[in-house]
């Protein structure tokens, strides 16, 4: 992208900033909390971009002025000083230009959403259930470090203390942005605690990261739902197991089924099931739109679908390998303690480089 093209984008975004600022100055906007929050976030993004752009543009002007002065300068010492300033200025300008381009990338519209995460064992029996528990605890530790609010919606333990399945929600700043690449099949290679011969086994679990949807975003017709209540079968208080508190909701048009039996209250379980159902239906809509977009570009890329193997945890090598992005870190124990940022930062860098390449290509084609 040329400096003139960057300047054109900056001009457009500066005008947009004035529009957002004017809208936020209207007291009426605060009657709609979602709109006011969205506008405030947009204003912060615009301010961040324009601050970077202004610093970069000023530095580029200074470099051009120094180059012009160098052509007329005859004093050796001053020429050396100008040459040094130009060199250091160009290094800094290159760094700032990359930051400006990154800030120009359109944000993922779902990045500010809260999420619902589902973890289930796949292949590997009890060993898969044990690792499902390990990964769940790693996510919980990470959420706590980030200051996110987490809520367990459904949890079923296995005989050896693993998990047959867990569904939980995360709420906070940049939740979806940081966790969205976790969707897919996670593979673990290690010696199980149940293995007496010391052989390494391979097991898999599935992770789904679903952006939470509001009622107004996913229109669920009550006539399309079949709601069944039954006696909860999982461990819990006496009330859970002796009353029809569990709820099963079937969305007839799509065949989507959600079961909730974590709580003792049938009403609470119904609310949880509806939250999960809306998230699944919203993800279905997003996946269909992504598939159409990919088909139009004639290049199907990884979509984070649960059938896609994305990660391998190898205990012998102390490694966590992300196959989708070609990134490997050697901090497996720390990862399981909630230190996800080293891996997620590298994934973000790969995603950013790809997006910058796409943006540059689109600009070149225009």
The mean pLDDT values, 10 residues at a time, for the chain of 366 residues are 82 93 93 86 90 93 92 87 92 87 77 88 89 94 94 86 90 89 92 73 90 72 85 53 76 87 82 86 77 48 53 93 93 94 88 74 56
Please tell me the predicted confidence (pLDDT) of residue 338.
95
Residues 6+ apart with CB under 8 A from 268: none
Task: For residue 52, report the phi and psi dihedrals to the nearest 5 degrees.
Answer: -65, -45
Residues 6+ apart with CB under 8 A from 214: 34, 278
If one looks up domain 3-104 in CATH, what number appears? 1.20.58
- Of the candidates 95, 92, 90, 105, which has an alpha carbon nearest to the alpha carbon of residue 6? 105
Please tell me the predicted confidence (pLDDT) of residue 315.
92
Label residue 194 exposed, middle or buried (CB < 10 Å: 0-12, 13-18, 19+).
Answer: exposed
Distance CA 345, CA 94 (A): 21
8 Å CB contact between 162 and 149: no
Q: Where are the domains of the chain?
A: 3-104, 113-366
If one looks up domain 113-366 in CATH, what number appears? 3.30.70.1660
Alpha helices in 73-124 (DSSP H): 76-104
Please tell me the predicted confidence (pLDDT) of residue 63.
93
8 Å CB contact between 91 and 85: no
Please tell me the predicted confidence (pLDDT) of residue 300.
35
**Burial letters for 122-158: b for 16+ Cβ neighbours within 10 Å, e otherwise?**
eebebbbbbbbbbbbebbbbbbeebebebeebbbbeb
Task: Identify the bridge partners of residue 204 per DSSP, sorted by sequence position.
Answer: 187
Q: What is the pTM of this model?
A: 0.69
Residues 6+ apart with CB under 8 A from 136: 119, 163, 166, 168
Q: What is the DSSP letter of 12?
A: H
Q: How many C-beta atoms surround the C-beta of residue 316 within 10 A? A: 10
User: Within 13 Å of residue 206, how many CA atoms lie on the same side as its CB?
Assistant: 13
Helices (H) and strands (E) in the chain, counts: 9, 11
Q: How many residues does the chain have?
A: 366
């Amino acid at each position: 992208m040329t400096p003139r093209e960057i300047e054109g984008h900056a001009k457009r975004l500066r005008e947009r900033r004035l529009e957002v600022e004017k809208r936020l100055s209207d007291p009426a906007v605060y009657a709609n909390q979602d709109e006011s929050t969205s506008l405030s976030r947009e204003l912060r993004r615009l301010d961040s971009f324009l601050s970077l752009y202004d610093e970069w543009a000023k530095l580029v002007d200074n470099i051009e002025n120094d180059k012009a002065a160098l052509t007329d300068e005859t004093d050796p010492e001053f020429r050396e000083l100008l040459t040094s300033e130009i060199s250091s200025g160009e290094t800094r300008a290159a760094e700032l230009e990359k930051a400006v381009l990154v800030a120009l990338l359109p944000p993922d519209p779902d990045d500010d959403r809260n999420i619902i995460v589902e973890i289930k064992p796949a292949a590997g029996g009890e060993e898969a259930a044990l690792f499902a528990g390990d990964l769940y605890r790693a996510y919980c530790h990470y959420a706590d470090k980030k200051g996110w609010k987490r809520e367990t919606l459904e949890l079923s333990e296995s005989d050896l203390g693993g998990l047959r399945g867990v569904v939980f929600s995360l709420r906070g700043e940049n939740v979806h942005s940081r966790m969205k690449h976790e969707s897919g099949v996670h593979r673990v290679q290690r010696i199980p605690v149940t293995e007496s011969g010391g052989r390494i086994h391979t097991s898999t679990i599935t992770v789904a990261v679903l952006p939470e949807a509001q009622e107004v975003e996913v229109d669920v017709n009550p006539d399309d739902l079949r709601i069944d209540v039954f006696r909860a079968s999982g461990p819990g208080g006496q009330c859970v197991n002796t009353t029809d508190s569990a709820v099963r909701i079937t969305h007839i048009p799509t065949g989507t089924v959600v079961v909730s039996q974590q709580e003792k209250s049938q009403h609470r379980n119904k609310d949880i099931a509806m939250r999960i159902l809306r998230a699944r239906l919203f993800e279905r809509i997003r996946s269909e739109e992504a598939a159409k977009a990919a088909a139009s570009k004639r290049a199907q890329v990884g979509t984070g679908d649960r059938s896609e193997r994305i990660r391998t945890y190898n205990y012998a090598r102390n490694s966590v390998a992300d196959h989708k992005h070609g990134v490997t870190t050697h901090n497996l124990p720390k990862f399981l303690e909630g230190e996800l940022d080293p891996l997620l930062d590298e994934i973000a860098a790969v995603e950013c480089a790809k997006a910058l390449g796409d943006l540059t290509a689109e600009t070149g084609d225009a």
